[in-house]
Amino acid sequence: MALVCWLGLSVTQALGAPAQSADFVLRQQLAAPAEVLHPDPHGHAQPWILIGLRSQQLTLYDAMGRQQMRFTISSSRLGAGERVDSYQTPRGWHQVCAKIGDGADADSIIYHRQITPWHYTAELHAQYPDKDWVLARILWLCGMEAGKNQGPGMDSHDRAIYIHGAGAHEMFGIPSSRGCIRMQTPDVISLYQAVGLGTDVEIDEHR
C-alpha cells in the first residue's frame, strides 16, 4: 500500500490507530500559539481598520479579526479633535464613504479630489515646502457618531478628513499632518486595494 501522509501519519497508521491520531492532532493544536482576534465590534462581517493615534499605526483586520496589514502613519500635529477648522484628527467610528485615485501613479497629485496631470517631485516640494500634498489615493471618511464626528460643526466628511498618500518629505510615525491620516504612497495604494466602500474605521487616541 502506498503511504500517503496526513499530519505526519501514514494512512495505515491513521486508520490503525484512531485514538493516537486524535491525540496527535490535539497536541498539535495545543502547541500552536493562540491567535488573538479583533473582529469589528459593530458585528459587520467585513474587514475593518483601526488607527491608533498614540502608536501612529494603522492596522487592517479581516472579517474574522485577523491582522492583515499594519502601517506607520501620521495624524494631526495639533492632536485629536472634531471641531471644524481645528485641523485636528477626529476620533471615533467612521466609514470609508468614497475612494478616489483608481489607476493613478504613486506620485500623482490629487487636488480638490480630482486626479491631476501633475506629479510630486523633490523639486516641487522645495519650491512649495509648506504645501500639504495629497498623493496617489484618497479614502474619504464619514463620521458614524452623531454629535461627535457627524453633524454641524464637527462632521468628518464635511471637514474632508482623508486617509491619503503623502510626499516622501513628510515625517511618518509622529503627528505632523493637518488633520488627515497621511500614509506613504506604496502603503496607501495597498490599503486602497484591500478595502471597499463602507469599511468601518475606528480612530482611537489611546492606542
The secondary element (H helix, E strand) that includes residue 97 is strand 92-100
Q: Which residues, 6 or more positions from 169, have their beta carbon under 8 angstroms from its beta carbon?
A: 122, 125
Higher pLDDT, 25 or 151: 151
Domain spanning 48-204: which superfamily? L,D-transpeptidase catalytic domain-like (2.40.440.10)
- Domain segments of the chain as ranges: 1-34, 48-204
Task: Assess whether pLDDT exceeds 50 at residue 3.
Answer: no
The pLDDT, as a whole number, for residue 101 is 96
The secondary element (H helix, E strand) that includes residue 203 is strand 200-204
Question: In the predicted model, what is the mean pLDDT of the chain?
Answer: 87
pLDDT digits (tens, 9 = 90+) for 151-185: 999 999 999 999 999 998 889 999 999 999 999 99
Average pLDDT over residues 133-150: 97
| Alpha carbon distance 143, 150 (integer Å) | 5
The pLDDT, as a whole number, for residue 30 is 58
